[in-house]
Amino acid sequence: MLEPDEGELGTLYGHFARANPHWRELREDSEALAVFSGPDAYISPSWYPAKAEHGKVVPTWNYIAVHARGPVQLIEERDSLLRIVSRLSDRHEASRPQPWAVGDAPADYLDAMLRAIVGFALPIRQLKGKWKLGQNRSPADQDGVRQGLTASPEPRDQALAARMSTTNCRGTHRA
């Protein structure tokens, strides 16, 4: 969960299952990387008009990703964990007709569940975004890829096509 107003670039909060060994690999205040993947898809060279023109095309993968780095802080104290899971649940339940709240769970059950997790805070010190959406291709090839992705029955392909339609560098081509 991102708290955008905490820290210069925001702070990420979350938790691991205590049984998950990953949290044990983290050292207090060590640098951690959180990766957020956006839409991505295989790009067929058959979608490029350039295939018919000169054949100099190969498959590729288009994607969008964001990397957030910062010092990780582990959280095991009950009240702090309760705040994290309450905020997380409240945020995800807010749009539901009958939102569930942490207080709906029996206290003894909630305590057992809190003992089964380890929380973390990651104050973001660096954000890097990367998108590879065929910016190096001609406008005709970009259109061919968008059409190919749009025609696909795969929701992720269609999501990438929609993103390409709003963000791609149309009209720029680097040889």
Give the tokens for residue 41. 């898809």
CA distance 22 to 120: 12
Give the pLDDT score at 110.
Answer: 97
Give the pLDDT score at 36.
Answer: 96
Q: Can you tell me whether residue 105 is helix, strand or coil?
A: coil
Give the pLDDT score at 69.
Answer: 97
First to last CA, the chain: 41
Give the pLDDT score at 168.
Answer: 56
- Domains of the chain in start order, with CATH, are 2-104+120-165 (2.30.110.10)
Q: Can you tell me whether residue 100 is helix, strand or coil?
A: coil
Residues of the chain with pLDDT under 50: 171-175
Give the tokens for residue 68. 């957030």
Give the pLDDT score at 94.
Answer: 96
Give the pLDDT score at 107.
Answer: 96
Considering the entire predicted model, what is its pTM?
0.79
Give the pLDDT score at 167.
Answer: 76
Give me the sign of the Cα torsion angle 79, 81, 82, 87.
positive
Give me the sign of the Cα torsion angle 43, 136, 141, 67.
positive
CA distance 54 to 67: 37
